[in-house]
Structure 1
């Protein structure tokens, strides 16, 4: 994660700040600003940062398994977040990129990123409490 530009970390912090405030429009706006400035690759970097916040540093060769009963019946954004986080935990960048591209193609990226931001905040709150 340290090979990302500082701007990516700053953008992730802005997304999280908006999510902490419960301002969904500001979360979407923060992601839109990233896309306007750095394209979809910039938004992907921010999403990868959020996954890193949830998972932490995965151990080398972690081979994490996705264990989420009923995942196939979950809403698109929930399935996407679970699989994206799993890709991060497994250091599987090609799968993360494929998931990101699929969400773009399916017109679901904004909802997926909003759910990812909410999941990150929920994780941070659970660790604090």
Structure 2
């Protein structure tokens, strides 16, 4: 039997990506960070999926086939908080008229969505 253990994001600066995602999600490094080529972030209570950051020299995709959807009870407040942490807005041309999501990019340019959980 398989289970999903971690979603891995590429990063040219693993330290910067680790700081962003740890603060964004309230996660902590699972292990002592010895090598900044690969870091696993885990929920502080141990419940939930890990997010890993791996050194990568490839550029982020403009339209990634795989991305994170972050559910939020107050999406406007979360988008603002994430922008303050270093995320950036993505000029997304494909928003439907009743969009319940906002497309952002992390400090490395990886795209992700903040989803209105109430919507």
TM-score, normalised by the number of residues in structure 1: 0.25
Determine which structure has the larger helix proportion and give its number. Answer: 1
Task: Report which of the two structures shows the higher radius of gyration computed on alpha carbons.
Answer: 2
Larger strand fraction of residues? 2
